[in-house]
Structures are given as C-alpha cells and as structure tokens.
Structure 1
C-alpha cells in the first residue's frame, strides 16, 4: 500500500486526485494539502468530494506528514516550486503533472531529481503516452514531404497554450525526425508571407466550454492524410495515471522519470 499526499487538494484536479487515491486498490490518501490559513483546513476530504464524512482532513502544505510515501502536485508553476522545496526537505518522492513550466523550472526539477525520485509528465493518460509512441513511428515511417500539424482543444480555464501535452506530442515528432523542436515549432502564422515549410510543426489551439482535452497530430501528404487523435472525457483518466505513477515511484532510486518509464515503454 502506498500512502499518497495531494498538493492543491481543493482545486479542480486536486479533488479528482483525492478521489483516485481513495478508490485505487493499492493506495491510500494519507494527506490533502491546501494553502496556509485556507478555510478548508480541518474539513474532511471525503465530505468535500461527497465520499462520506470520515477520513483525512485538509491540512497546511507547509510540512509533509511522516507517513506519506509519495506526494502528487498538479498545481501552478509557482506552487509547484514551493512544494518541490517541501518535498526535498522531507526527502519525499514526488509526482508532478504541473504544466506551463519554463526551461529554468525544468532545470530545477533535474537538480531536485538528484536528491529525490520524481516522475514528471505533461500528461498521465495511458492513451496519450501510447499516442506519443505512435506519432514517433509515423514521423519515422512517412517521407519528409508531409505537412505536420498539432491541434488541441481544452476547457476555457486552461491557461497555458499550446498545452503541455500538445508540446509533448510535437517534441516526440521532432525527436523522431531528428529536428530541434524549438527551431521548427510554429505558433503564429498571422505575419507569414510565405507558404508553409514541410520542416515545421504548426500548433493550433482552441479554448472553450468544458472540453477535458483533445489532441490530434496531422500528417498530411499529397493524396492522403493520417490523423492520430486522443480524446479525454474525464479528468479521472489523468488522476488514475498519476496515482499509478505514485505507486510505481515508491522505493525507486533518485532520478527524473516520465510516464513512459511507469508504463514500461522505455
């Protein structure tokens, strides 16, 4: 049994993570953390997510409880960095699904992973991680005269655009092609005065309603088009993947892992 703590447990994703930790057969919810002085401190988590009146109460994020085996963070970059420092102080393994991280943030994660085991992924869905492998295969197999585009849709509350998952897909394609992603990624064509190059990956974004997440990689050639799509209909998909990663991470040596490692894809 893996005892899990959730940072940002009162947020939209935090609530689902708490539920996923509770319903998993090999994990337990050991702690649910919220900001200092939050009104929910002392309230039972199960009551908050309509799972009963007993169980773990929300507590301050300042200190990780001793019985926590792994903590999960799906907050914002500023919060993640604070929680990372807390995990380092306690030597607690950490699963991170926070997106919108900068290159500097990633360097900080890499340094932290020299002291604690960390699983970082922009998307913890099993299907998305399979899609990552499929787009690599398509990029390697198809000739260089195809046009490559990545299109993603999310709910109106999604802040980063393109999404971390869209970038993960584009980076996988670039890696398979032997391209430098930063050199071939195109996010805005409004000022372009030339036709599309076939050595580029274009990104398109839609935000609206309550769309959980949809991602499509397009490989368009003369006479045919390959579309590889993943559609998520529930945040529970990501939460279950993160909880699975947490159970996998328990007792792992220090290092920076991804969901590809968790699933045995590499």
Structure 2
C-alpha cells in the first residue's frame, strides 16, 4: 500500500521536485501540499504547479489542515517553519522527513526532542549515492587509520547560503568518528598566509560556490606516494527528491524514534 505523503514548501524548487518524485514512486502518494500563508499560490493545484498536470491536490497554508490525511510529511523549508511542522507531526504521531539545513544548536535540540512522539528522519543528504559514500568513508577511515591526511572539497551553486555544506560536514563526521576524533576540535575551514605545517589530526574543508553546480563532494585520503579519493557528484536535485520520497515511504511504517538515511537504506 502506498504511503500517503504531504510536502511542505510545495511551490519552491525542491517542493515541486518532491511532488514530481512522488508521482514517479510506486510506494508513495501525494495527498497534501503546504506553502507559507503569504504565498499567492495558495489554492492552486500542486500537480499543475509541478508541471505534471492537475492532480487534485490543492495547496493549503497550514499543515494542521491536512495532517490527519497523511502518513508522513517531507519538509524542505526553513528552520523556523520546520520546527512548527515538526510540532504538528509530533502532536499527531506522523512521520517526518527533514531536509532543511541551517539549524542552530538550540533548534537541533528542539527538533530531536520530538523523536519520542514521532518517527523522525534527519539526513544531511537524501541521495542514495551520498549515503553509500558515507558508509565507504567510515570503512576507508578505519582501514587507513592515522597515516593518511584527510581533506574534504565541496562545490555548490551560487545561491547556497551555508558553508561548508551539510553533506561535507556529514562526511567529515563519518571520518572523524571512525578515527576517534572530535570534528569540532580538528576541523579547519580555511587556510591563508603562513599556516605552518599540517597537523596530522586535522580534517580540512575547502568550499567553492558558483554557477549552477548541484553538488560535488570529494574526500581525499593522502599519504606519501598515494592518494585515495571518494567522490559524489549530483547532476540533478531529483537524486535528493527520490531519496527523500523513499525515506518517507519507509518512515511511514516505523515506530517513534530518530532515524537517518542509512537506516532507510539498511546501511547500519
């Protein structure tokens, strides 16, 4: 049976792509679409806005108006909006898949505190390929150990407002955890001038912004005489949308608790 899904931020670029991805899924059905109350597109047909033709799902201005109809909610909006949507999901015991980035520590704590009332999935990146890379990075770091220097490069489009990307940080955390390091203590986010010799425990990040790059990530393990690179390149946001829909369909049948994409894919 298909999971009944609501998409918040439905008229945004990612929202429309999620609606398209749901239309292509055999395991999910779009039953609700939500947008900020100030949007002029409230009352529009969600399928038509996504370029799919009318599907009968009318965009509303409040998740609370449709929450009883759904099994799971996919939220790629903004931290404040996500927290409000999460509150409604927790009150009604609905699964929530969060793709929003840019939470501060207090907001993260508020969100994670709701996991006892709902199934909550948070992932830095919903691409299946990225999550396979995270698993590979854990294994590589454990095998290579402290003899290899680790550097992370990421590139995104000119409109991305946070840096490094959440995916780059997740990759850094995967490596740091496997090496028994605290990423907060060993991360270096920029180098300039006379920096001195590289500290072996350092995990460096390099950020590039420009054009319409969807998302490139490379983790380099470097030693004398050789270099290993694990790379993921996204050419379309549909990779993220399909993964989020896959997560929502899976989450709809899960008990309350905290999950990530590696749970969804059985990679743990």
TM-score bracket relative to the smaller structure: over 0.9
Aligned twin of 1:113: 115
Contact 2:145–2:179 under 8 Å retained in 1: no
Q: 1:146 to 1:10 in 2, by over 3 A?
A: same
Instruction: Give the 5 Å matches for 1:144-155.
Output: 144-155=146-157
Residue deviations 1:159-211, cap 9 Å, x none? 11000000000000000000011011111222653211110100011111111
Contact 1:7–1:61 under 8 Å retained in 2: no
Q: CA deviation at 1:143?
A: 4.0
Q: Distance in 1 between matches of 2:55 and 2:251?
A: 28
Residue 38, structure 1, aligned to residue 48, structure 2: no
Contact 2:158–2:211 under 8 Å retained in 1: yes
Aligned twin of 2:6: 5
Look up the SS of the partner of 2:116 in the other structure: coil
Q: Distance in 2 between matches of 1:167 and 1:134?
A: 15
Aligned twin of 1:61: 62
Residue deviations 1:31-80, cap 9 Å, x none? 11001142111111111111113421111124151211100011121221
Q: Distance in 1 between matches of 2:97 and 2:49?
A: 23
- Unpaired runs of 5+ residues, structure 2, are none
Contact 1:219–1:226 under 8 Å retained in 2: yes
Look up the SS of the partner of 1:144 in the other structure: helix
Contact 2:6–2:73 under 8 Å retained in 1: yes
Look up the SS of the partner of 1:113 in the other structure: helix
Contact 1:71–1:93 under 8 Å retained in 2: yes
Aligned twin of 1:252: 254
How many residues of Structure 1 are paired with residues of Structure 2 in the alignment? 266
Aligned twin of 2:135: 133
Look up the SS of the partner of 2:206 in the other structure: strand
Q: Distance in 1 between matches of 2:80 and 2:43?
A: 25
Aligned twin of 1:124: 126
Contact 2:91–2:117 under 8 Å retained in 1: no
- Unpaired runs of 5+ residues, structure 1, are none
Residue deviations 1:123-142, cap 9 Å, x none? 01111001001111111111
Q: Distance in 1 between matches of 2:39 and 2:230?
A: 43
Contact 1:36–1:62 under 8 Å retained in 2: no
Q: 1:69 to 1:155 in 2, by over 3 A?
A: same
Q: Distance in 1 between matches of 2:65 and 2:106?
A: 25
Instruction: Give the 5 Å matches for 1:200-219.
Output: 200-219=202-221
Instruction: Give the 5 Å matches for 1:179-190.
Output: 179-190=181-192
Q: TM-score, normalised by structure 2?
A: 0.95
Instruction: Give the 5 Å matches for 1:71-82.
Output: 71-82=73-84
Q: Distance in 1 between matches of 2:236 and 2:187?
A: 29
Q: CA RMSD in A?
A: 1.3
Instruction: Give the 5 Å matches for 1:6-21.
Output: 6-21=7-22
Aligned twin of 1:235: 237
Q: 1:53 to 1:143 in 2, by over 3 A?
A: closer
Q: Distance in 2 between matches of 1:26 and 1:138?
A: 34
